[in-house]
Structures are given as C-alpha cells and as structure tokens.
Structure 1
C-alpha cells in the first residue's frame, strides 16, 4: 500500500505486461499525490493575496450583481486579517475600490462591496489588468497570489479585446507569480476567453448558468486554496530508447517530444493530479525479461515557496505470449481515466455540432457515448445531463456546458482513493473533489446557503 503521508508518484499501466515480440501502444496513468491532511493545530502560513475583479456592466444589473457581491463577501469573510485583498470593478471604466492591503477587520471591503452598482459596457481586459497590477509587486511574499475574475459578457471595449492577447497576458502574469481564476455567468459571456485565461493563467475556470449557481464554485475555489499543498508541478517523463510517448490530457507541455515536461494543476492535501500517456513500444523491446520503459520525476513547491520532494518512479514490465497477456485484467482506474478523456473529446465534437445547429448529430453522439461508457457512473451522468440540455436546442448554453464539462474531464484533480462505481461516497469529500454532473449548475449547495 502506498504511504499516504508523503508526496509520491504512482505509475499504472493498462495491463502489467507487454505482448512478446509485437510492436504495441500501452496506455499508462501517472498519478502525482499530495499527502493526506493532518488533523493538528492550525499552523501559521504566508498570506494569500487575492484581487476580486467584478464586472458591473449593465447586463449584470439586479440579481447577477447582487450574487457576485455576495460571493465576494463570502471570500472576504474567509480570509485571515493578515491576508491581502484588493477589489476592482469594471464596466467601460475600471475602478480600484480597495487597493491591495491587509484585510484587517474587513470593514473596508464590506463597505466598498455595498456600494457596487451596475454601469455600462465591458472592459474585461482593463479590469483583469488592474487586479493583476495590484498583486504583482508583492506576489513573491504570498502563499498564493490570484486574480478572481467574474464577468457575464465579452471583452468588447478597452485597449485589448483579442482572446489570445488577453490569455497571453494571463500566462505572463502567472510566470511572475500571479495566477488567474475566471467565473463566467449566464449565456452571453465568451467561454473560450474565460477558459483560456484560466488555463494559461494557472488558475481554475468555472461558470454559473444563473446567478444562483455562482456561490458553489466560489466556495469551491476558496476551499481549494485553503487546502493547497503543492504548486508549480512539473512532471518530467523519460522513456527507454526507441519508445515514444504521447500525452492524452490537455495540459501545457514544455521541452521536446523525447523528454516532455508536463505542467500539472496545483494539488491540495488528500488529492492527486494525473496524466494519461500512451507509450509506443517497438517489437524489439517486447522481448523476454523485464524492461524499464518509463521514468517519472516531479518538481513542485509548497505554498510557502519551499521545494517539495517527490521520489522518482519507474515502470518496468515483462513480456509474455499473447494468450497469457489476454488473460490479464485491465486496471480499472486506467480504464476510467481513458473513458473520461474520450468522453471529453466527444463533448467537444458535440459542441461543434451544436454551434452549427446540427442537433441530430449532437443527439447521436451523446447516445453513442452513453452506450460506450455505460460502466462509468460519473461519465454517464454528465452525458445524460448534457443530453437533457441539448433538448432545449439552446446553442449558447450547450456550448458552455460542453466546453466546461470537457475541460473538467481532461484536467481535473481527483481524490487519491476515488470510488469508481458510485458518486454517493463523495458526500463528505471536500467540495473541490466532488464530481458534478453539470458544471454550470449548483449541485451541492445547501438551501440555507442560497438564502444568506
């Protein structure tokens, strides 16, 4: 049994052997695990630095803006007095209502939030940039420096409105220590922009179908930040000569194809980040005797900026005749991860069909997928939820749900001991480890929470 009290790397092939004398492709799951949380006295930590950036354009008037303010107040109330927070609002104009400073008794933040009102059009880049500028000077002193951006629209005014240009700026800020999480609201926001900002900005991306669906992802984000164990994870993979490797997840990759360095998501205590790769093994390596095929190494840092040590791990497999190989069982977790990635790609196909109004193709793809992945409970529930949404023939909502669900399947962190046969066992798990069936809908909020 693996030691749950230390950070570690686990390597699991689809089957624990090769077919002798045959060139083959082998799916391999790499799991990078944080230690379990330790129940002990609360330890002092470096402060969090957060910039809350809220769209107050005219379309946010009423409940959407009120819900955004409520979510911002929730985060403010979770912060320690020594944490640093800034508050920025934007329409076509950008205002820094509270510059980055220690939270203290939260009076300044609460007062500023009570005075937020709706305005005009959407200078999204300007709002994000103002939030990032508040955090960049002191990012090195923070356990985590993050812009938390909420918008219901598009970047339609301001100095920069191009999606790639804005996402590039998020990537540059992340390199300097300030990451970006995005929250889209409703049917009209630019989901490609919001997802790309978070992906390249090293943060998380969420959306709410309605204003009432916003609170849950905001709470999930802060729960994750509070349990953060490892940041800046880099997974380096080296193969035996002649073996080629292909990454199946949608993670950024540095380096050449021979020794890829994969940028994994940050992980919390009790959680793991995972990557599924495919090894292409020539027949000449699938011979008698065990062969080392893969070596995995990880570098990471704690929220305090200290190196986090992971022991390197290798994959060594024997070769056996095809009849004996066929009798081996497949690893159920590898099969589940394969299903998630395949379903994620299928959702992208369904999204493209919905964008062209081809609802017959959407229905066919989802029906075929439900049959294909019938033994994967979470995948099936996501597909069923997507099928119900597709019946509305609402292109904007379908595009968003398909994109966010696809991205979740292809890049999520998971519990280290995740139940594969049931979602019911997740009831007591941290919010960031519970699998939702629809990303745009609140699923776990208690009724009393939504009334606060």
Structure 2
C-alpha cells in the first residue's frame, strides 16, 4: 500500500515489558514522508544553490576537470528560475557568478570552462562567500544550500580552526542556508567536512578519485529534487521515571526525559529514523499497559508551509520473563541496532588505524563479520573495510571508516520495509536510497555509462 500522508511509526524490540524487572528497551521511531504522487509536476519555489569549488594546486588536472563536470551536471538539472552562484577558491576567493537566475545556463557553463588551478586552500573563505551570497534571500527559496568541494585542508584564510568553521555552518543553517560537503582523495580533512555538513544541516560525501565524485553529486540533486520535509524536529516525551537515551549521533536539544532531536531532511518515499533506549524502572515494568513514550514531529515543506504529522505513542503490557522470552524481536529494530553497533565498531577500528594498530583493526573487523553475519549489507561494508586494512593505507581507511559509520548512523531509508530485500529494486531506485558498500567508490555507475 502506498503511503499517502506523513506519519510516525514506533517499533519496540519486543511488544511487551518484562514484569517486575528494571530494563532497557530499544525503540525505533520512523518519521515517514508520503510516497511521490504520479501526477503532473507542480510549480515550486526556486532552489538557491552556491557551487563552491576548491581550485588549489592539488586539484590540478583530472580532479578539477571532474569537479567542473559535476557542477555542470547540477546546473543542467536546475530550472531557469532557480538561483545559482559559482565561487572558486585557493588562497584567494573569487565569485565567478554571483547569485542569479540560471536562465539558459550559459553564464554558468562559460564561467566553469574558465576555472583553473591555483595555490593554497582558503576553505573557510570559499564557503563563506557562497553562504553570504545565499543568506539575504534564503527565506524565498525552497532550499538554500552551499555545495562545497575540496581535496585539502583549511590551511590559509581568516579561520582555519575546524570547530570554528563548523560553528559558522550551524549559524548559517539557523538562518536558512544549509551546507553539503564533498571531499576528494586522501588528503582532505574528513572530520572537518563531515562536521560542516552535520552542523550545517546538509549531506556529506567523498570520492577516492575524481571519477568517484559524479555518483554523490547525482544523489545530492536527486534528493533535493524529491525533497518533502525540512527542519524536521522529533520531540519525545517519556512516562514519569522513564529515561531516554538517543543512540544515533544527531544534534539534540532538551533533557533526557523530553529531548528534541534534529532529524535529517526527508524526501518523498523516504524516512528519517532514530533509535532510542528507554530506561524503565522496576515499578513501571510491574504495572505494564501504560503509555511509555509519545513522539511528535514538526517540519515544513520546501515552500515553507507546516507539514502535519499525527503524534504516535507506545503502550506495552508487562509479561513474565518466561513469556517475554517467547516473543519474537522486531527485525527492523534488530537491523537498526546492528547498523549503529557496526558504525561504533568502525569508529574503534579507525582510532586503531590512526595509531598503526593494524592487528587490532583486523581483529575488530573479523569479530564484526561474525557478529553481523545475518546482515548482508553490513557484511559487504566490512569486507570492503578489511580489504582496505590489508593495504595499510591509513588515510583511505580513516575516510572510509568515518563515512561508512556515518551512513550507518543516519542514512535515508525507503519507507517500505521490503525495499532492500531485492538488489535489483535497490539499484533501480532513487540514488539517495541506495546502500553502498564503499562510500568513496562509484558503485551504481554514471547515467551516461551504458554498461551500467
């Protein structure tokens, strides 16, 4: 059955509490957008995009050429009424095309054809120029976003501190301009690029090589084109005495009993999700049948209109330990638990690789492959990570471990549970819903590659 309205769904690990026992109960909250309607395309407010490209000396040759090709691809997908700008930076920052309607795209194409490589990397200056161009009219846009591409570190400019740059991204997001980042190769600062996107309310991607950039660029625009809900806030209220611990790495406001969780934007046909652990005291477990959790969501459409979600609640009976043991666990909760646990393990392996402890890395990955043997996608990711570990390439391992763990923590999902059971269905799906076994590699092919 197609989903026709926004909704919240709550799944507990098992459909009951253990009577008379203090316990920790995993609970999955799914915030779902409706499926896309097969109707005539509706008019929308314009997108406002700033394409910000690193042209420092290390980008010379194929990397810069591929970055320009990806930027042209995005320009070609925009409507004539959308607003776009082009900023390039090395140690200097230049706005080649100020924010203006795309029109016939010729100004963007001409400017892109003249981009050439230069010196050092004033990453903050490039980002700031892109954001400054979007901020004045951000309220008029369906989406205002800086799309930043770099292969290096913020080594020159007014601000080079990663925490300071990420904080500015957060401030811009509060004013309506989000940030997506694209890292290229093995020398960029992945912690900075991921944190900029996380605090900036956008997406983060990377490519091992220039040729690997096209797939994430296409995924970004596919996602923007299908956008349904923005500024998604999940509010949770637990019964008195029940604690809530968020297991995802989302930004959170409020306290342990009433957190407000900042979820990612949601596209049509997709969902954002959060896994929490309810800490239930003995007294409440003995009573059972009471309301444990209430979930509410606020969000807006790309046009700025409020998007209505009906609240959802979780109420569970209490059962004897013997009866509780016979209940089946919810497979979706188990799957999300496994993904978050695998992501934490990759963070441990990344830390070990930074210290050159490759024996520890290999042991962690081997244990993980045994632990998650019933999760096919996780096994593919872990095998890819094991192959990288054998190469002893610390820089590549660090990046792949970070981006894979982030994918496991907050990736966009299809609203339909059976979606990922058929690989053919997944490969033909919108690019932002596909699971990749290696985040830095092209896996599904380019639109212009007939062999894929």
State the match for 2:214 in structure 1: 215
1:74-99 Cα distance to aligned partner (Å, 9 max, x none): 00000000000000000000000000
State the match for 2:355 in structure 1: 356
State the match for 2:3 in structure 1: 4
State the match for 1:334 in structure 2: 333
Q: CA deviation at 1:422?
A: 5.2
Whether the 8 Å contact between 1:136 and 1:176 is mirrored in structure 2 is yes
**Within 2, Cα distance between the matches of 1:288 and 1:445?**
55
**Within 2, Cα distance between the matches of 1:263 and 1:289?**
30
Moved over 4 A (4+): none
State the match for 1:243 in structure 2: 242
State the match for 1:393 in structure 2: 392
Whether the 8 Å contact between 2:232 and 2:299 is mirrored in structure 1 is yes
1:352-411 Cα distance to aligned partner (Å, 9 max, x none): 000111100000000000000000011111111110111100000000000000011001
Normalized against structure 1, the TM-score is what?
0.98
Go from structure 1 to structure 2 and tell me whether the alpha carbon gap of 1:339 and 1:424 turns closer, same or farther (over 3 Å shift): farther
- Residue 178 of structure 2 aligns to a residue whose secondary structure is strand
Aligned residues: 450
1:189 aligned to 2:188?
Answer: yes
- Residue 9 of structure 1 aligns to a residue whose secondary structure is strand
Q: CA deviation at 1:287?
A: 2.3
1:65 aligned to 2:64?
Answer: yes
Matches within 5 A, 1:38-437: 38-419=37-418, 421=421, 423-437=423-437
Whether the 8 Å contact between 2:17 and 2:288 is mirrored in structure 1 is no
Whether the 8 Å contact between 2:91 and 2:122 is mirrored in structure 1 is yes
Structure 2 unpaired stretches of 5+: none
Normalized against structure 2, the TM-score is what?
0.98
Q: CA deviation at 1:255?
A: 1.2
- Structural RMSD (CA): 1.2
Whether the 8 Å contact between 2:19 and 2:288 is mirrored in structure 1 is no
Whether the 8 Å contact between 1:212 and 1:450 is mirrored in structure 2 is no
- Residue 295 of structure 2 aligns to a residue whose secondary structure is strand
- Residue 333 of structure 2 aligns to a residue whose secondary structure is helix
Q: CA deviation at 1:428?
A: 1.9
State the match for 1:35 in structure 2: 34
1:168-226 Cα distance to aligned partner (Å, 9 max, x none): 00000000000000000000000000000000000000000000100000000000000
Q: CA deviation at 1:449?
A: 3.8
Q: CA deviation at 1:49?
A: 0.1
Whether the 8 Å contact between 2:215 and 2:446 is mirrored in structure 1 is no
Whether the 8 Å contact between 1:14 and 1:330 is mirrored in structure 2 is yes
